[in-house]
Amino acid sequence: MADTRLIQGRYRLLDLIGRGGVGEVWRAKDESLGRHVAVKCLKPINTQPDQAFTRVLRERFRREARVAAALQHRGVTVVHDFGESDGVLFLVMELLEGRNLSQLLEDNKQHPLPVPDVVEIADQVASALAYTHQQSIVHRDLKPANIMRLTDGTVKICDFGIARLGRDVTFTSRLTGTGIAMGTPHYMSPEQISGDQVDQRSDLYSFGCVLYEIATGVPPFDLDDAWAVLMGHRDTPPRPPRSHRDEVPEYLDRIILDLLAKQPEERPHDARELGRRVDEGRRTTTGAAPAPAHAPAPALAPAPAHAPTAVSHPMASEAVPGVPGVPRARTRPERPPSREHRLPSWTRGMTTGHKATGAGLSLTPPDASAGLTGEWIARPTTGRVEDLVRTERPIPPPELIATLAGRHNAGLSLGRLGRWTEAGEVHRAVAAEREHALGPEHPDTLSSRYEVGFTLSRTDRPADALREFAHVAHTRERLLGPEHPETLAARQEMAYVLGQLGRHFEAHQAYMSVLAARERTAGPDHPDTLRCRHNLAFNLSRLGRLEDAYRMASEVAAARARVLGANHPDTLVTRCEVAYGLGQLGRWPEALQTYQEVAESRAQALGPDHPDTLAARYEVGISLGRLGRSTDALTLYRALVEDRTRVHGPAHSETLRARHGLGVNLGRLSRWEEALAESRDVCALRERVLGPDHPDTLVSRREVAVGLGWLGRWADALTEYRSVADARERVLGADHPDALASRNDEAHCLEQLGRGQEAVELYRRVAALRQQRATGGP
């Protein structure tokens, strides 16, 4: 392929980056989007004598490439596009700036990498493998050359599914008389060598070989003859890494040897366990070397938890992580209690000479005899109390101040009743009047703008909410300081809405910053600190760091039980998050037990009809469904629908949510006609009550499409899927995760209708938009 070649009229090859047995990798320019990418060209397949085999390879390539393109994790190389040009299969991937581990060893003259680097690589790769294994994807060819460390310290795994496909394309030689695909001898698992079935534990073995090499400078079986290497993997125990290098910590030595166990069942159960052991070792080992300055936080997945996964049929479920648009009554990140930020001031009848204390400041009010009030403003250079200066403003009548305070509190009451649209209108009006009467930087004005942001976030306008909270946080930081509780409250709300926007990595960074400040200023067991840690646990699950999320939620639940009591509402909220984490980790029996305990505790403490009690019962139904107990779930949901109807009415959003769960479990029991009827009824009610473009309405419309598909009515299903996709694209934007998930549903439906080319084009468009969103490109 010449470097002037323009593939598909779009990708212009520029420089050859690398060449190997599989093919070539080029730096190229995507002339449609104006960005540089990497294009991997596999060796030509149209010269193979067996045309049937060639057809199979093409189909395998499309399938493998589509799966690779669906992977969305910070630790996995992004695949933008794929196709075939003049008999050459190619993939278009993100262009990475960095060195693979093999190159790093070469750069280091085959000396081992620093121990902190080895530990950081182990942590990040474990996170990426945990994500990919959860998608039922096994790499099968992990080696130093397939693991990149970028210039910012991020570690990425490359070539999911493509390396083994390349071996088939090029008819890589097989070991004489064995029938074993050769692969890379130094990193092959014993079961690969023996030709046995491989699973995720084979990847763990290969990664153990990688860790061994970067920790010691040599692979575990450093022999010249390929056959001897293979037999070493199969039959010979490896020397402990510490026998090569004393600096290797004992915990890391043990982890690597466990990864290199000959029998798969003797290795760590999965990559999540590996990550947990690495993290525990790093935290608990005394005398461990500090982490390198360039190493980032452990690998974080930007893809939202509801990003679509490869499934044989887009069946909706109210409980399945990874199924787009499915409503849950799960724990939301917590909000600090809304309150009137009352700064007792000269405008509330105080006389000259008194000290007015509010928001943590002791301020001397200005002279009121001149008929002027003072607006205290911190100088931008210091933000210190003694440097506050005053601008003069007419004193507002005390009656106006009292009226605005009453209206503010009325807005809070509307919010507590869930009437967020009305609450937002009240707070916006009060904010405008307070700004006019008191000034834009008065604490009461900022309090109203804070509540405006709160209502915006609860009415599906997170971008607008982010602007409000950013303004409040910036102003409070300038006036009160970066670690004042009110400043931290606004910054925490910014983290919350960043999560709503799917910007979970930014949310994580914001929560970590707030948490550090709260621990310094208030202590680890302060309610505000625990609330922040609860929210951080929630966000970690959105990043795919499920073990970390579960562990942190468990710690917060224990702390809240100790500080507040086992049956305190906040403790029970976090126990719900613990149960959710258990479900995410596939530990559904424990999740069910925890949700049942929470439901019982809430019924005793709050009453059987309290919304929180009913929400916990809904989660019990989800757990029953996930355990295959759909008959029990159906019974629970029928009772829950009756109770919700009695308490809230037949058209209440939570009543309809329970009916949605009922319909899903009818489908699970293959009662598809009933399921379809229930979904249509719920969809009609939601459209009438909430509007045609409300997220819950669209979820129900998708469930209608699912039922139609299962009944074989794919043409009707396509109409519904496309309607949902169009609405989400219109409301949320073309690159929003929910919109992309709906386009994937549409593409799957096109495949079922035999319209494969249209499906492929749609999959490509989704992959491009997803990458554009991840990189922040145009």
Using one digit for the tens of pLDDT, what is the confidence trace for 439-473?
999 999 999 999 999 999 988 899 999 999 999 99
In 3D, which of 394, 500, 543, 419 has the Cα closest to residue 736? Answer: 500
| 23-30 vs 98-100, strand pairing mode | unpaired
Question: Which contiguous run of DSSP H or E holds residue 157?
Answer: strand 155-157
How many CA atoms within 13 Å lie on the side-chain side of 762?
20
Instruction: Look at phi and psi of residue 392 and say left if phi exceeds 0, alpha if psi is from -120 to 50, else beta.
Output: beta
Give the mean pLDDT of 193-202. 83
> What secondary structure does DSSP assign to 13-32, as a single string?
EEEEEEE-SSEEEEEEEETT
Top pLDDT among 171 and 60 is at 60
Q: pLDDT class for 333, splitting at 50, 70, 90?
A: low
Give the per-residue pLDDT at 226.
Answer: 67
Give the least confident one: 117-121, 383-387, 529-533: 383-387
Q: pLDDT class for 717, splitting at 50, 70, 90?
A: very high
Give the per-residue pLDDT at 400.
Answer: 87
Give the per-residue pLDDT at 161.
Answer: 54
Q: pLDDT class for 231, splitting at 50, 70, 90?
A: confident
Give the least confident one: 127-131, 190-194, 547-551: 190-194
Structure token pair of residue 612 = 């929180």
C-alpha 512/C-alpha 518 separation (Å) is 10
Give the per-residue pLDDT at 68.
Answer: 79
Give the least confident one: 106-110, 183-187, 195-199, 645-649: 183-187
Percent of the chain with pLDDT over 90: 48
Which amino acid, one-letter code, is at 637?
Answer: Y
Which amino acid, one-letter code, is at 335?
Answer: R
C-alpha 758/C-alpha 280 separation (Å) is 49
E strand residue ranges, 318-447: 356-358, 361-363, 372-378, 388-394
Q: pLDDT class for 363, splitting at 50, 70, 90?
A: very low
* Active-site annotation, residues: 141
Top pLDDT among 543 and 346 is at 543
pLDDT single digits (tens) 305-325: 333 222 223 223 333 333 333
Give the per-residue pLDDT at 122.
Answer: 96
Give the mean pLDDT of 363-381. 37
Q: What is the pTM of this model?
A: 0.50
Reduced to 3 states (helix: H, G, I; strand: E, B; else coil), residue 68 is helix
Give the least confident one: 75-89, 181-195, 223-237, 755-769: 181-195
**Is the per-residue pLDDT at 347 higher than 50?**
no
Contacts of 65 (CB under 8 A, 6+ apart): 79, 82, 91, 161, 162
Q: pLDDT class for 641, splitting at 50, 70, 90?
A: very high
Average model confidence (pLDDT) for the chain? 80
Q: Scan for tokens 């491009």, then name that residue.
A: 768
- Crossing angle of helices 569-584 and 588-606, in 10° steps, is 160
pLDDT single digits (tens) 291-301: 333 333 333 33
Cβ count near 195 (within 10 Å): 11
C-alpha 235/C-alpha 229 separation (Å) is 10
Q: pLDDT class for 635, splitting at 50, 70, 90?
A: very high
Cβ count near 227 (within 10 Å): 12
Give the per-residue pLDDT at 335.
Answer: 55
Q: pLDDT class for 358, splitting at 50, 70, 90?
A: very low
Q: pLDDT class for 776, splitting at 50, 70, 90?
A: low
C-alpha 46/C-alpha 450 separation (Å) is 64
